[in-house]
């Protein structure tokens, strides 16, 4: 046995223990949300997958054609299991164990038939099904990510621990893992197997850590303020677009056109932003602002999107950036951390991105220009 082969078995054992304990930890967390349950299910599947690969070292398994076909076919369940987690991420509240089972039942059927018959035609059909399934899941996931991102930009003034940009990066890493594993399957190069486990474990550590910090969003219920603590898992729930705010004004005060606010409300909105400086609240949401105006989220969102042609996120952060520019102009020595804290931003990175988009130059360039005057 070569050194690379011994290292690959060591990494495989480490992966098994990592997946097993991570799954137990997720299931036993104080608030095991739907997202955590979906992730725990996926991680548990990978623990079982690593364990069944270890079984292949025993002669009683390798000598049984039925057992080897069964173990080989289980690998094709990966996308069906992972789909439960990815869809729950962008469509909160979707996951149930019943739906997870429904996504996997065709894979289980194919596995049973192939294990019993050993038919190459069945295996080919399963591979074709997996390919079509992967394309369908990625297409649906892409659509839901766009919808999710649009929703949070129209409802939140800070997107820290809400956006899914990091998840896209992790998915790219997993695609690299699939390529590396495929290369290993064709030439049984144990160096490639070691590379696969190193990349895979790194990606899983990042995925699990970020998932624990992710604020979950629901599209169905009334929205409380986000919670900053990491444990227990913070949950932010959003009402549906059609549901009016509890603070909505009487019907007589609402505009007849759902796409518009009354002129009085527009003036009140401008006053809240310019004089009331409500944007200094880093947790400000669309529902909060609608409540202050005595209207509902739909009217306010339509006004921002259709008349001002901006999302709620961009609208609020434009005021924060203007305040930051004024602070820099009046006090060139003010620190970036003071600006972030006093202008309603949640982080320096968010401030820098918003500043560049709003001003058209980076924060550093702006400060340099102000200092040279």
237 within domain boundaries: no
102 and 207: one domain?
yes
- Tell me what the pLDDT averaged over the chain comes to: 81
Q: Give pTM, 2 decimals.
A: 0.71
What's the per-residue H, E or C state across 90-135? Answer: HCCCCCCHHHHHHHHHHHHHHHHHHHHHCCHHHHHHHHHHHHHHHH
- Low-confidence residues of the chain, pLDDT below 50? 220-259
The CATH number of residue 97's host domain is 1.20.1070
222 within domain boundaries: no
Q: Is the peptide bond before 358 cis (omega within 30 degrees of 0)?
A: no
Element (H, E) at 185: helix 165-187
Sign of CA dihedral 76, 77, 81, 83: positive
202 and 261: one domain?
no
235 within domain boundaries: no
88 within domain boundaries: yes
pLDDT tens digit sequence for 134-151: 788 878 888 888 888 889
264 within domain boundaries: yes
- Nearest Cα neighbor of 222 from 154, 148, 155 is 155
98 and 204: one domain?
yes
193 and 297: one domain?
no
- Per-residue model confidence (pLDDT) at position 344: 92
The CATH number of residue 360's host domain is 1.10.10.60
170 and 285: one domain?
no
| Cα gap 200→206, rounded to integer Å | 10
228 within domain boundaries: no
In terms of residue numbers, what domain contains 283?
255-372
Q: Which two tokens stand for residue 64?
A: 């049984």
CA distances from 169 to 36, 164, 203, 210 (A): 20, 9, 9, 12
114 within domain boundaries: yes
pLDDT tens digit sequence for 52-91: 888 877 888 888 888 888 887 877 787 778 877 888 878 7
9 and 78: one domain?
yes
């Amino acid at each position: 046995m070569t050194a690379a082969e011994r290292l690959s078995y060591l990494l495989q054992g480490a992966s098994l223990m990592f997946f097993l304990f991570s799954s137990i930890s997720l299931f036993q967390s104080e608030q095991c949300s739907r997202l955590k349950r979906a992730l725990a299910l996926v991680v548990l599947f990978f623990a079982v997958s690593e364990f069944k690969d270890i079984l292949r070292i025993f002669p009683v398994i390798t000598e049984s054609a039925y057992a080897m076909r069964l173990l080989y076919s289980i690998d094709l369940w990966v996308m069906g299991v992972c789909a439960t987690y990815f869809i729950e991420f962008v469509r909160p509240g979707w996951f149930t164990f019943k739906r997870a089972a429904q996504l996997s039942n065709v894979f289980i059927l194919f596995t049973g038939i192939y294990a019993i018959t050993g038919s190459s035609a069945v295996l080919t059909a399963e591979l074709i099904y997996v390919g079509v399934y992967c394309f369908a899941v990625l297409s649906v996931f892409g659509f839901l990510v766009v919808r999710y991102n649009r929703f949070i930009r129209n409802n939140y003034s800070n997107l820290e621990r809400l956006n899914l940009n990091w998840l896209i990066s992790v998915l790219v890493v997993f695609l690299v893992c699939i390529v590396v594993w495929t290369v290993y399957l064709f030439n049984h190069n144990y160096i490639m197997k070691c590379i696969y486990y190193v990349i895979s474990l790194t990606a899983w550590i990042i995925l699990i850590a970020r998932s624990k910090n992710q604020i979950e969003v629901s599209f169905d219920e009334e929205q409380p303020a986000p919670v900053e603590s990491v444990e227990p898992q913070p949950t932010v729930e959003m009402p549906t677009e059609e549901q009016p705010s509890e603070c909505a004004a009487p019907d007589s005060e609402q505009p007849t056109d759902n796409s518009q606010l009354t002129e009085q409300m527009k003036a009140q909105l401008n006053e809240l932003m310019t004089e009331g400086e409500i944007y200094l609240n880093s947790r400000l949401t669309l529902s909060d602002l609608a409540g202050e105006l005595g209207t509902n989220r739909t009217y306010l969102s339509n006004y921002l999107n259709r008349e001002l042609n901006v999302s709620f996120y961009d609208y609020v952060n434009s005021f924060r950036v203007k305040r930051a520019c004024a602070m820099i102009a009046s006090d060139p020595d003010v620190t970036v951390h003071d600006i972030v804290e006093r202008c309603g931003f949640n982080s320096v990175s968010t401030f820098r991105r918003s500043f560049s988009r709003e001003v058209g130059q980076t924060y550093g360039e702006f400060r340099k220009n102000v200092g040279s005057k």
